[in-house]
Every structure is written in structure tokens, then in C-alpha cells.
Amino acid sequence: MNVTNEFHTEGYDAVVVGAGHAGCEAALALARTGISTLLLSLNLDSIAFMACNPSIGGTAKGHLVREIDALGGEMGVNADKTALQIRMLNVGKGAAVQSLRSQADKHAYHAQMKQTLERTENLTVMQGEVCQVLVREGKVCGVKTTFGEVIDAKAVILATGVYLNGAVIAGEFWQKSGPNGFAPANELTANLIELGFQVRRFKTGTPARVDGRTIDYSRCEKQEGDRDIYPFSYLSDGVPQEQTPCYLTYTNEQTHAIIRANLHRSPLYAGVIKGTGPRYCPSIEEKVVRFADKERHQIFLEPECAGSHEVYVQGMSSSLPHDVQRAMYRTVAGLEHVKIMRYAYAIEYDCIDTLDILPTLEFKKVEGLYTAGQINGTSGYEEAAAQGLIAGLNASLRLRGKPPLILRRDEAYIGVLIDDLVTKGTNEPYRMMTSRAEHRIHLRQDNADLRLTQRGYEAGLVTPARYERFLRRQEAIARIGQALNERVSPKLCAAFLQTHGFPAPGGGVTFADMLRRGIPLPEIAETFGILRDERREDVETAVIDIKYEGYLKRGLEQIEKAKKLEDKKLPPDLDYSNIDGLRLEARQKLNKIRPENLGQAGRISGVNPADIAVLMVYLSLQK
């Protein structure tokens, strides 16, 4: 770092450090709720940059995007505007695990988000590297840049992505760098350690980008998008009807043989890479080693943007040397003569231990300092954006003197994500999955607005126009539900039921009863002339609620039981070392994490039901 004289410039209520997916949502949440905000980026050309897959959504991640949108965030809106293709995943499975996924134009996504930021009132966007978070008497008071500029602030959000001491690795090549050749942030980590953060080293990776003109698509399986599904944002009116196809191909034994023969040159297996990688998104060399019995692995060929021939080879991330990559990729069907435009690489970076932050995403040791995104050990644009929105909104609420927004695990996937981070921590890059949520049937992506838009409106982020749209949808779903529960006389429905293999009814039957018997809604609607003017998405939500009514009712009973523990607050200054009956491990974990309630305490690794029983007795004696 060059020695530079300090100089003071105008201050802001809040400063957001980093303009990736977390930083953009944080800055917009702050500015849109009236907070004077500065968004600092190492490079303005990297705003909302898709360093890995140019896609938004996917299994569980689609849920996050719709929740971000329901709360008033921007990711869903931006994804809809820049989609090349959109599909609904898991259509053959239950409604709880169906997820939207769009292939985005990565350059348009960046440009559109940058334009949105620049046009937002109360928001200033500036290029610069932060080297120090300034703290006075335990409270954040600003930041300092590498140029010596001191910027006063009452709140700071760190959304540094994979840039902290970033290092790119491919074979024998190692270089300090951020993703895609962007400069890393080399100065801030030391300051974070001084502030009391526990820092660890994680690793992620990306595959090659290849020239689409050198792909033989006739040897691949074509995958078209969906045109009759709803978009990510409740503000968007539909999905694009003209969509770009993606393609599916596979590795083979020849591919695997090249990889196995060169494992000694892999920095992952040679011990060069020290950081912990994502278990649920392994490199191709990890797949070949870990799943040695598999004869092939899926590879998806996906366009990077509309104005380029670059194609993303999803499923084949690697840190092998370039000569090995070249041989390896050319064994895949359709890629026999492929030309690589950008080689694959791994990237290591610094991140923090999330057991050091509160459910608001505020650092426990410094008031007004928040963290969001990959600095918190998560992977994925969607996980980052969700945290950015919550961190930004909570910083705003705090500055406005209002209670924080903390979403429970039964309210949102965002609640599951943040609770996992601050209660259990993570020893590897955290990825959201539907299996992490206990209440999946309640946390569907089709009902995200019904769960969260009221919360976003009360927090001041959801606009009146968006809220009016939400109220109209609420009314429509109620109206549709009422129509489906209308009773039809036996005379009118007997023949219809018999054609579907059911006996003539002895009494009236509702349309909802017909749905539960498995009769398709389109046939019911056409035969009886109902729901002709209702929106498809509203009808879908009402129908799902009817079909899963029994499960939803049982789920609500479980949620109410869990809430009783969530409602039992634990004193923030409680010294668990002095509570008789608690095991030593439980005392240590409770003192470190300092859970806010009994529910959170029960989810801490190392705290068992007997410890919770001891805490319940202790709390009852304090009354």
C-alpha cells in the first residue's frame, strides 16, 4: 500500500463496500428508504458482474430471488429484463421444490443494474478500494480508501465478494487477482482481523468459456426455455417469448482418463490450494475422483450474452493447467474442435466466521458494521443478494430508529439462510438447498409475496405501487379460492365425475373436491365455465393451497410449536458459564454465539435438548 496523506470528503449516512450482487441490493435498500448512501466498487465495470455462471435462480435459489423481489429488492426485476432463456426446474416434482432459473445476458445484466443504481435517488456510486473501516468507541464512524480519502458514515456494509486477498490458480499458475482479471482487495483483511473478525480462506472456481462457433450442437441435446410460466418479479408482466436455447452434453471415459493422468498437476490435489471449496459444486477433477464409478457427468452449454459467441461450459469448472484443459474439453461430445476463449480457474479468497454476526447481519463487536454475501462464506449470486437486502434494510431501519427485520425459518428461505449462518456457521461455501428448510410446503416460490410483501412494505422498501399490486393479487387468490369451494349439485357434475372414473355423488361436490381427486383444473374450468378471467399465477397459488391443505394445516401446527421457543427470549448479557446443569460444550457455544431465543439456542451445534430444558428452567426461575 502506498503511503498517502489523509483527506476528508463529504460523509454519508451509510457506505456499502463492494458492488456485486450483495452490495447492489444493500445500496438500493438503503437509498430507497431515504438513507444517504455511497456505494464503493473496486471497479465500476464489475458492478453486478456475473463472474461465474451467467444465470439467476435454480433449485432453492429461485425461491430466494422471488423472496428478494417480494421484499422490494431488484434482482428479480433485473433478471427478467435481461433473460435470454427462462425455465421452471423440477416440474415433475411437488410445488415446494419447483424453482425458476433464467439464463441471463451477463453484459446486459451488469449494464441494467448499473443504470438502476445511477438513477436511484440518495445513492452515489464511486470507484475506490477501502483499506480500513473506522471505528470510534465501539461504533463504526466511516471508511478510509487506499487513496487516503476518509468518508464519514453511521453504518457500513461490507459486501466484498471473493476479492479479499483474491488469488487465481490454474495448474502451476498463481496470481493475486479478483475474478475475470479484476484487481483484488489486498488491504482490508488485516483491518478486519484488528476489529475482531475471525478470518478463514475459502475457494471457488469457474469453467472455461468457449467459442460457440466451434461447437457441434448436432451432437448435443437441445434445451428450450418455457414460455407459459411466470417471471421472477411480481412487477414483470411475463417471460420473453423469443428465447435462446441451451444444450446438454456429457463427459466420458476419455475425459476422465485425461483428468486422472494429470491429477499430480492439479493445484487442488498437489496442495497448492489451501482454501475450502464448495462441496455441492465440485470441480470436474473432484467429480472424477469422488464419483469414480460414474461413467459420465452432465455438461450444459449456455450462452454468456446476446452479443458474443462465448459459451459457458457449466459442470466443468477446473483448476487444471491450460494444456490439460484444452485436451480435456475436446473429448466431450460436440466440443471435439472447440476453441477456448477464457480458460477455467480456481480462486481463493478471505471470508469471515459468521458466528461473529447477529441475525441482522451486524457484527457483534462493532455497532453499525454489517457483512453480506461471500464475505459471509456463502456461494451464489442469489444468496449474496438476499443477505445484501437484509443487511441494507436493517442498517436503514437502525438509522431510522425502527426495529430490525429478522425473518424466521418458517417465514422465508432467507430466514433459513441467515439463521444457518449465524447459528451454525459454515466450514465451506454455503449453498441454499430446499432440503435445508423444514417448512418447504409453506415456503414455495409462488407465494413469496403473500409471505413477505407486507413485511417489506412495513419496513419502507416496498413501494405503494408494488403494494397495490400485491393487494390485488391477494384479493384475486381469495376470490379464486371461494369460487373453487363452491358446491355443484349432483345433477350437474355426475356425468363429469363418471367420465373420470368416479361414481355419481350422493350430494353436492365442490370444485376443490374434484381437484383433490386428481381431475385437472383446465377440464374443470372448461366444463363448468369458471375462472375465465383470472391470472394463471393467481389460480396456480390457490390450487396449490387447496391440494396441499392437509399438509399446510399440519405444518402450521408445527410452526406454532416452534414459535413458542422463538418467543422465549434470552438476555443478551447472560453468562452461561454460571448456569448449573449446562454441559461444558453448551456453555462455550452459547457464550460464543449468544442466541437471541431458545429456538435459536436449540439449533446450535453442540447444544442438545437437555441443555434447552436447563435453560427453560433457568428462565422460569428468573421471573
Domain ranges, ordered by start, for the chain: 7-205+349-458, 464-557, 568-622
Q: Which amino acid is at 253?
A: E
* pLDDT value at 508 more than 90: no
Report d(CA 566, CA 406) in Å as an integer: 12
Query: In what order do the strands lie in the sheet containing 55-57?
Result: 55-57, 99-104, 83-89
Looking at the structure, give the CATH architecture of the domain made up of residues 7-205+349-458: 3-Layer(bba) Sandwich (3.50)
Q: How many other β-carbons are positioned within 10 Å of the β-carbon of residue 503? A: 8
- Strand-pair category, 369-371 with 155-158: parallel
Show the cell assigned to 175.
Answer: 496470481
**Residue type at position 112:** Q
Residues 351 and 371 sit within 8 Å (Cβ to Cβ): no
Question: What percentage of the chain has pLDDT greater than the value 90?
Answer: 86
Q: In terms of CATH architecture, what is 568-622?
A: Orthogonal Bundle (1.10)
Percentage, residues of the chain above pLDDT 70: 99
Q: Would you say residue 151 has pLDDT above 80?
A: yes
A 10 A CB-CB count for 62 gives 29
pLDDT of 2? 55
Find the range with the poorest average confidence among 140-154, 280-294, 380-394: 280-294
Nearest CA to 515 among 554, 553, 480, 491? 480
Residue 623, pLDDT score: 66
Summarised one tens digit per residue, pLDDT across range 515-527 is: 999 999 999 999 9
CA-to-CA distance for 614 and 616, rounded, in angstroms? 5
**Per-residue pLDDT tens digits for 392-414:** 999 999 999 999 999 999 999 99
Residue 1: is its pLDDT beyond 80?
no
Q: What pLDDT does 570 receive?
A: 92
What's the confidence (pLDDT) of residue 621?
82
Is pLDDT of 3 > 60? no
- Rounded distance, CA 168 to CA 376, Å? 20
CA 453 – CA 459 distance, rounded (Å): 10
Using the predicted structure, report yes or no on whether residue 555 has a pLDDT greater than 90: no
Confidence of residue 275 (pLDDT cuts 50, 70, 90): confident
For the record, the C-alpha cell of 59 comes out as 433449485
- pTM for the whole thing? 0.94
Instruction: Show the cell assigned to 620.
Output: 422460569
* pLDDT on residue 557: 87
Determine the CATH number of domain 464-557: 1.10.10.1800
Report the candidate in 16, 34, 32 with the shortest Cα–Cα distance to residue 126.
16
> Which band of pLDDT confidence, cut at 50, 70 and 90, is reported for residue 4?
low
Report pLDDT digits (tens) over 225-245.
999 999 999 999 899 999 999
Q: What is the Cα–Cα distance from 497 to 527, expressed in whole angstroms?
A: 11
Whole-angstrom Cα distance, residue 170 to residue 563? Answer: 49
Q: Assess whether pLDDT exceeds 90 at residue 567.
A: no
205, β-bridge pairs: 346
CB-based burial of residue 2 (10 Å sphere; 0-12 exposed, 13-18 middle, 19+ buried)? exposed
- Write down the pLDDT at residue 274: 86
* Res. 561 pLDDT band, cuts 50 70 90: confident
Given a cut of 90, whether residue 299 has pLDDT beyond it is yes
Q: Over the chain, what is the mean pLDDT?
A: 95
Check residue 559 and give its pLDDT.
87
Name the least confident of 91-100, 115-124, 412-421.
91-100
Q: Is 112 helix (H, G, I), strand (E, B) or coil?
A: helix
Q: Which of 312, 378, 314, 322 is nearest to 345 (CA)?
A: 322
C-alpha angle 401-452-540 in degrees, rounded to nearest 5: 170
Given a contact cutoff of 8 angstroms between Cβ atoms, the answer to whether 353 and 371 are in contact is no
Mean pLDDT of 585-589: 91
Nearest to 452 by CA among 415, 426, 483: 415
pLDDT of 43-63, one tens digit each?
Answer: 999 999 999 999 999 999 999
Question: Is the pLDDT reported for residue 293 higher than 70?
Answer: yes
Helix H or strand E segment including 538: helix 536-547
191 φ, ψ to 5°? Answer: -65, -40
- Looking at this protein, which amino acid is placed at residue 545? D
Instruction: Please give the C-alpha separations between residue 337 and each of 36, 199, 257, 342, in angstroms, as whole numbers.
Output: 53, 44, 19, 15
